[in-house]
Copies of this chain bind each other. A is one copy, B any other.
Amino acid sequence: MKLITAIIKPHQLDAVKEALEAYGISGMTISEASGYGRQRGHSEVYRGAEYTVDFVPKLRLEVLVDDMDASSVADVILKSAQTGRIGDGKIWTQQVEDVIRVRTGERGSEAI
């Protein structure tokens, strides 16, 4: 299994969520984060306000997937999160050794 983590613009969440649902993804976790990339010092617009501070609000998504879905799911997030403007985000993929579904105790791919 793989864990795909994405830092996205908050207002792209609906687009990313719909694209993941259309792909058939069964679940995801989000949390609030903030950060900066290469334009630190430059400003980004968020909710109509211009952020000149370093840390711009972002959303952090986590999606557990089967090995065979990992590359497609990263592409689905890439396309749906992309606005073409600076600060669009990062997506990274990591190996996961085991997954457990808590209610049923299932493990591995069955648990996702």
Binding site for B on A (CB under 8 A): 1-3, 6-8, 17, 21, 26-38, 40, 54-55, 58, 60, 64, 74, 78, 81-103, 105, 111-112
Contact = CB atoms under 8 A, between A and B. Distances in A.
Nearest to A17: B54
Among A60, A87, A97, A112: residue with most chain B CB under 10 A: A97
A63 B93 CA distance: 14
B29 A97 contact: no
A60 B35 contact: no
Given A27-B35, A33-B29, A60-B31, A99 B103 contact: no
A30 to B, nearest CB: 6
Contacts of A3: 92, 94
Contacts of A36: 27-28
Given A31-B33, A74-B98, A97-B95, A90 B105 contact: no
Contacts of A87: 103
Nearest to A71: B98
A15 to B, nearest CB: 12
